[in-house]
Amino acid sequence: MIGLQILQRQRAVGLDLAKRYLDVPVANVSDCMARMSAGGAHLRPMHGGGRMAGPALTVKTRPGDNLMIHKALQLARPGDVIVVDAGGDLTNALIGEIMVGDAVRRELGGFVIHGAIRDAGAIRAGAFPVFAAGVTHRGPYKDGPGEINVPVALNGMVIEPGDLMIGDDDGLLCVPYAEAEALLAAALQKQEVEAQMVAEIANGTYRAPWIDETLRRLNCPVQE
């Protein structure tokens, strides 16, 4: 039944590949995806810091209800990132310290909550990745409905079950399952280029000819 169902995930990015993304800034991956995908700037890291990378176990729930999130915790495998589409509503918190503790025990990869959390101090004091849209002390309901392992969308960023979810201090990004290998290679190459730029800035040899080239192409007058 649409709106109340628990499905099996048909495929998932491997943990070995996911872990290689922990060495790559989200911004570099985003640049290699033409800067066209994002979960929104309001989805921020709520934990003490550190990168996240793991296959998505998706949850779609009505705002303010966490029944299916509890079930997702039972179904999740080590390394999974539980991605919750709760419509971005901040009225009720969907997870807190207890559920995060359970996720840590199960060796999951993180939480992404398109909604609110609580127990923010305890979560901020820990390293377990939690990304959310806000904080409130008001607790959740546990009545459903909801769905597990269905496509979800966070501000237009579509996440299919098993896609790769990555996150760092700059925010979140979904890497489609079929593109994960190729995008990692492209992001690592971009990282090398940027490392060279940083080194050139440090030693005073950095040049950016593209700036004047672009201005000339735009026929922009430049007074000498």
Enumerate the H helices of 21-115 as residue ranges: 26-32, 67-75, 97-105
Is 77 annotated as a binding-site member? no
The predicted pLDDT at position 224 comes to 79
Residue 23 has pLDDT above 90, yes or no: yes
Q: What angle do CA 132, 19, 159 make, to 5 degrees?
A: 45
Is 33 annotated as a binding-site member? no
Counting residues of the chain whose pLDDT is more than 90, the rounded percentage is 93
CA separation for the pair 185, 147 (Å, rounded): 34
Domain ranges of the chain: 5-179, 187-218
Residue 223 has pLDDT above 90, yes or no: no
> Which neighbouring-strand residues pair with 187?
none
Burial readout 21-43 (b: 16 or more C-beta within 10 A, e: otherwise): beebbbbbbbebbeeebbbeeeb
> Would you place residue 128 in the very low, low, confident or very high pLDDT band (cuts 50, 70, 90)?
very high
Is 118 annotated as a binding-site member? yes
Q: What is the mean pLDDT of residues 128-133?
A: 98
> Would you place residue 3 in the very low, low, confident or very high pLDDT band (cuts 50, 70, 90)?
very high
> Would you place residue 206 in the very low, low, confident or very high pLDDT band (cuts 50, 70, 90)?
very high
> Would you place residue 174 in the very low, low, confident or very high pLDDT band (cuts 50, 70, 90)?
very high
Report the candidate in 12, 26, 24 with the shortest Cα–Cα distance to residue 172: 26
Q: What is the mean pLDDT of residues 19-47?
A: 94
The predicted pLDDT at position 219 comes to 95
Is 97 annotated as a binding-site member? yes
Is 138 annotated as a binding-site member? no
Pick the CATH number of 5-179 from 3.40.630.30, 3.30.70.1230, 3.20.20.70, 3.50.30.40: 3.50.30.40
- CA distances (Å), 64 to each of 96, 106, 130, in order? 13, 24, 17
Q: Are 46 and 21 in contact (CB under 8 A)?
A: no
The predicted pLDDT at position 1 comes to 81
CA separation for the pair 223, 201 (Å, rounded): 26
Counting residues of the chain whose pLDDT is more than 70, the rounded percentage is 100
Extract the tokens encoding 12: 């998932």
Q: What is the mean pLDDT of residues 149-164?
A: 97
Is 119 annotated as a binding-site member? yes
Q: Are 114 and 85 in contact (CB under 8 A)?
A: yes
CA separation for the pair 175, 184 (Å, rounded): 9
Predicted structure pTM score: 0.94
> Would you place residue 12 in the very low, low, confident or very high pLDDT band (cuts 50, 70, 90)?
very high
Report pLDDT digits (tens) over 29-41: 999 999 999 888 9
> Would you place residue 120 in the very low, low, confident or very high pLDDT band (cuts 50, 70, 90)?
very high
